Structure formats: C-alpha cells, structure tokens
Structure 1
C-alpha cells in the first residue's frame, strides 16, 4: 500500500519519493537494493556480522526514501508482536551519499507518523544503538531498561508513548 509523499513543509524530503510497502509488494530488484543497503551499513560499515535477514520482514512495513530513483534511506516498522509486544521501528539507515541532510530525523518522524496512523495510541519500541540514545530521545523516545550488548554493539531499549 503506497503512502503519500509528504506535504511541502516536510523539510528535506520535499520532492523526494517516499514509499511504504509490505514485503510482498516489493519487486525483486527493489528488495535486492534494500537488502544490499542493510548489509552495507549494518554488516560492512559497522563491522558487525549478524543475521540481518531475521524472518521478520514479512511482518513489517518497509519505508524507502529515494532521490532520483536511488535508494537514500530506509527503515522497517515491525507489526505488534513481531519483535516486541508493541510495533517496533528498526533497520534505520541513511546511505553515505545522503548523510548530513537530516534524513534520519525526517525518516524517524515519518515512521512515527505512519505507526500512529496504523497502530493508533500504541507505544513504539526500538532497540537503539546506545550512542544514538540522545538522537532518539530528541524524538520523544525514553529509555526502557538497562543497556545491553547486541552483536558486540551496546544497545538500549527505548519506547515512544503517544500523548
């Protein structure tokens, strides 16, 4: 199900393409680009050997942000119960050529807005890399528990609770 592009006031994404899809709506080439980007950022760049393809992509919405047809940013919104009891945002990435444009913040806000539409009044959970705690806190997430190690990277569960 395509999600409409943001209104002109949407900051750096104005004029860019935003596309929300379920896994079965993605064509093979698009899925390949997404998995390639996830591997490039989370496995290669962060030097973390982990199972990115975790069996949860079928239970998620996938947000692509494209510029000139090129994948610039991505996130995955898991359905409630797919990872946590609440809906969960994860696999948040901005590819290197598009960093420094505030896409991460805009991407997360789009994820929160979409979650509010599809999962009204439900909290949103993330497993944040610990060094990004202040970034997520600036979006309204609060720490929920103690830091933990995930694949050699310190993480912290955080939760966003709508008003």
Structure 2
C-alpha cells in the first residue's frame, strides 16, 4: 500500500469522494450505524490514505494537539473490508503515527477506539485510559500513546 498525506484543500474531488465512500461503506453500512460522518472536522485535519492498484483502500484523519483532544489524535481509521486480511491496518497505523510525529512534532497521541479493536491498538503501543463509553451506539474506549 502506498500512502499520501494531504490537507483538505489539497484533496482532489475524486480523492474526497473515494474517502467519503470508503468511510460510509464501513462506518454506516457495514457497522449499521446511522451517524453524521461529514462532521465539519475534515477541513482542519490532515488526511492519510493508502492506495492499492490506484484505489483508496485505507484512510485516517489526523489532528494536531488541541484540535480534537489535548493530544494529537488519529481518527476515522478504516480499511476496506476486502483488504483487511492482508494486515494493511497495521501499515495504515504506522503511517498515521509517523505522520503525526512528522507534521505535528509530537509523540503523544489519543484515539477514541472501538472497543473490539483494543488489542490491535495495543500492538501499536496505545493503552486504555478510563472506562468504556458509547459513541454513536458503539462501545468505545479512549486510548493514549506516549513517546516510546
């Protein structure tokens, strides 16, 4: 998977459409969760997306400290269902963590993780902070990653 990182303004309309389509496929349709994905936060985030055969199959958005949490953050972590078996989620997280460190010059990262992915995020050195909570009807946990 090859990665690109762009601001909202740098995204082409084709890239934006593919990103929103992927997010909708997974977060709305696959997870059967009606929620407002287009939330006005895309404009202030950096977009990390991965390609396979010229198709966007993975995506995150990253925020500098203070824009979402006190720490920098990674959100909307998504891999196309047909591509998950190849371990691309790990590549996507590594690229996103590196992007936070490169663009924002910080090591501390906070995520709001779907609870069932706790072990996945722990493999990237995130630890649970606080109790489980519901976000859009799905169990989530806050996880923090400190400098390693």
The reply to whether residue 48 of structure 1 matches residue 33 of structure 2 is yes
Instruction: Output the CA distance in 2 between the equivalents of 1:146 and 1:108.
Output: 23
Q: TM-score, normalised by structure 1?
A: 0.87
Aligned pair count?
Answer: 148
Instruction: Output the CA distance in 1 between the equivalents of 2:147 and 2:109.
Output: 8
The reply to whether residue 20 of structure 1 matches residue 2 of structure 2 is no
Match of 1:71 in 2: 56
The reply to whether residue 159 of structure 1 matches residue 147 of structure 2 is no
Instruction: Output the CA distance in 2 between the equivalents of 1:46 and 1:76.
Output: 19
Structure 1 runs not aligned, ≥5 long:
1-12
Who wins on radius of gyration, i.e. which is larger?
1
Aligned structure 1 segments of 4 or more residues deviating by more than 6 angstroms: none
Tell me by how many angstroms 1:64 deviates. Answer: 1.2
| 114-123 or 65-74, larger mean C-alpha shift | 114-123
- The structure with more strand, counted as a fraction of residues: 2
Instruction: Output the CA distance in 1 between the equivalents of 2:13 and 2:77.
Output: 21
Tell me by how many angstroms 1:80 deviates. Answer: 1.8
Instruction: Output the CA distance in 2 between the equivalents of 1:35 and 1:20.
Output: 16
